[in-house]
Structure 1
Amino acid sequence: MARRIVDLTGKRFGKLVVVEVAGRDKHKRVTWKCLCDCGNEVVIRSNNLRTGNSESCGCEKWAKNKTVRNLTGEKFGRLVVLERDNSITGKVYWICKCECSNQTTVWMGHLVTGHTKSCGCLKNEQKNTVPKRSSAKTQRWSVYIRNINGNKCMLCGASENLHAHHLDSYLENEERRFDIDNGVCLCQRCHWKFHRRYGFGNAKAEDFHEFAGLPPYERDLIEIIDVDEALKGRKPKWFKEALEMSEEPTDLGRVVKLILNAKNLGDLKEASFYLNRFVERSKQK
């Protein structure tokens, strides 16, 4: 016999007022459409309302998280933090003044990790002072690194599209540019995933060792994010190539579905599996 639904319509739970029954979730539990004091509508299960697990649409949690580290006055590379940019919601951004007098807005994560050190002027200067990587000396170093690694990617074992990766950044470590102990062999895909996670131009050896120690599915997460971006029209190169070569991108569809509905680590591992199978099948087309 079905249990009688306790009508919660009109009742208040924290910042939420119940508007109407929304239906049932995949586990057949009753859900309610609620209106938050901030104006957002959200669908929440009965038990989460009654136990106090959900008392807002999420804005309450965001308000608590506003007590983030105050970076005002701190210096990161060439940037001095002036104030927080409150016009951007979600991630925390800071307005900074560069030594060259330009102002720029930077995500907090990029500041504290050293990913962003200037308004862009530092990168422009480095372009003019760093020797071209196409030099004969660079090429010899690159060939040597690939050879001593058996012409295989150290992370996935691939033997095609190989790159010689500098453990300590080529840009910031002039004395180690041609050090044979400062290089590892990576395939194009793994090389790209590393730099998408740790940035370009200021990576360190410890970053690579951390990356190499991650489980494969976690290294794939950066590509999973790009699948999501691809849906919005910002297709990365690897995605375009794979999509063009694949006649039936079923696995990609599964990846997208798993990302959008991910509930736990298992879902992300499964997304990683289908993503890799999609790429491998595309190569065989």
Structure 2
Amino acid sequence: METSSLQNRLTEEERRAFNETGYIIVENALSPEQVTALTAEVDRLYENKLQEGHDPQKALFYTDFVKDHPLFMDLVDYGKILPKVWDILGWNIYMYHTHMIITPPSGQEKSDKTFGWHQDSGRVNLEMESHPRPRLSLKVAYFLSDLSEPGRGNFWIVPNSHVQDKIQIPDNGHGQPEGAIPVCVKPGTAVFFDRRLWHAASTNWSDITRKVLFYGYGYRWIRRKDDMTMDGLLEKSDPIRRQMLGDGLNCNGYYTPTDADVPLKVWMREQGLPV
């Protein structure tokens, strides 16, 4: 981790917005060159999936893509983003989940069909006893395609809904919850959102293919959400990246970590940050 990354820590305005609304938008998180290079690799993987038999008319939901190219790996501990993640969740964190979503044009006419609204984490939302539900994790979505207009398969959210265990979803299959909005962003934008924020994917009614990379960060005592291929990755990584990839000395270290378990904490302390 470069010390220059400290300039990218969460601002007080961002902290207030995230706590109050459940999300923040970081424009120009990726440079145009990064967007071009990442898009080329996404296109390559998508073509491979098509050759393997993926239906080109259906969205591709592909987990464990980080192993497929160093450019994806570089976003695991990206200096423009990770400081904001640790400012929200603290230092006992790792990347527990990743997925790439490619949504081609649907060819459908626009409709008001209700989207699949949900909070992340599945059974967690049924089995945790607290109210509101605990934050536990967040996701960072890197948008590679131009979603600056609605109707392009945009990510939809209900701002401020992260502290609501339930929201009123139309039961007739038409329309969206009150307050729902599409997230309209340009390529290179990163969107942070609390796992509890009610959100949904939408139909792509445009002629643009939607391409997004999702990186999920949570506490180290949370189990992985998908099978991640770590063969050779830890050996090639520096200590903080190893932590983000889930490394640790032993099982107890995820619950009661020593400094050796959490090099991010050590590095933060060396920079004079409160830990």
TM-score band (shorter)? under 0.3
The two structures have a TM-score, normalised by structure 2, of 0.24
Larger radius of gyration: 1
The two structures have a TM-score, normalised by structure 1, of 0.23
